[in-house]
Homo-oligomer: A and B are copies of this chain.
Amino acid sequence: MAGAGAAGGAGGRAAGARYRRLATELREAIASGAYGAGGRLPSEEELAQQHGVSRGTVRQALAVLRANGLVTSRRGTRRVVLGTARTQSFFELLSFTRWARALGEVPGGRTIDISSGPANPLEAEQLGLEPGTQIHRVLRLRTLSRVPIMIERTIYPEHIGAVIAGLDPDAISHTEPLADQGVVFADAEHTVDLVYADDEDARLLGCDPGSPLMRERRRATDPAGTPLEWSDDRYLPGTVSFTVHNSAASTALSRRRG
């Protein structure tokens, strides 16, 4: 069996690459407590034989768990289980709706304003376009179980905005219909800081002007690096926190001045 290939070879019953499926299986096994809290994983060789794959494929799967902070990884000893699970996915961070549902809460959204027009220089830079290019703007109030939580100001390039504009105005999720239309979100950059509510923020969120808010600014791109959306989300205090795992091996987090 030299060179089985990705989907054409032996397995091929489910979707995705073999190592991804293996990573999911291992994540679920850990979550179910199969190895215990703080327990040791089987050796790479054992896992390879158990699942009928090569050691290289096992290592790819384990690298995923490692990056998510689920297991340790050091030379000389078997891997140790750290967190029992972290179901959080890339999309739960991108989509307010997905996130809320994963929490077991009821997401809501009221579209305050929707418009399109030429991008000002700032907006153009955020979306990597030339100033004056047509863009779409959406302002929405987001709720959890009918309670206002966050105010969301998003801008889209024209080809994305056209899809958004065609949606049901009462649609709760905007991200999911995009995915259905074949728009692929691949990367995102999130910046978190503290700002003070302006008059519009205060009116919509029901707080005082000048009161503090958690701000998350986000730029999402497709696999080619082309910006798909840029958003400025402002949360009422006490409603969210952001958690990051990083390691000496792979760092994606940074602290910035101001």
Task: Give the B-binding residues of A (Cβ under 8 A).
Answer: 64, 67-69, 72-74, 77, 80, 82, 86, 88-93, 99, 103, 105, 185-194, 196, 212-214, 223-225, 237-248, 250-258
Contacts of A244 in B (CB 8 A): 189-192, 242, 244, 252-254
On whether the beta carbons of A253 and B258 are closer than 8 Å, the reply is no
Contacts of A93 in B (CB 8 A): 246, 251, 253-255
On whether the beta carbons of B253 and A239 are closer than 8 Å, the reply is no
On whether the beta carbons of B223 and A194 are closer than 8 Å, the reply is no
A238 to chain B, nearest CB (A): 6
Cα distance, A134 to B88, chains bound together (Å):
35
Write 11 A-B pairs (CB below 8 A) sorted by A numbering: A69-B187, A69-B252, A72-B187, A74-B223, A86-B254, A89-B251, A93-B254, A103-B257, A191-B243, A193-B240, A243-B256
Contacts of A185 in B (CB 8 A): 248
Specify which of B72, B73, B190, B196 is in contact with A253 (CB 8 Å cutoff): B190
On whether the beta carbons of A247 and B187 are closer than 8 Å, the reply is yes
Identify 14 new A-B residue pairs, CB closer than 8 A, beyond the known A77-B224, A187-B247, A242-B244: A68-B250, A69-B252, A72-B186, A80-B225, A88-B255, A93-B246, A187-B245, A190-B253, A191-B242, A192-B192, A238-B258, A240-B256, A242-B256, A245-B252
On whether the beta carbons of B194 and A237 are closer than 8 Å, the reply is yes
Cα distance, A16 to B194, chains bound together (Å):
39
A69 to chain B, nearest CB (A): 7
Cα distance, A192 to B64, chains bound together (Å):
23
On whether the beta carbons of A90 and B246 are closer than 8 Å, the reply is yes
Which one of A67, A88, A99, A243 has the highest number of Cβ atoms from chain B below 10 Å of its Cβ? A243
Q: Using known A-B contacts A82-B225, A225-B80, A238-B194, determine if residue A252 contacts B254 with beta carbons closer than 8 Å.
A: no
Contacts of A196 in B (CB 8 A): 237
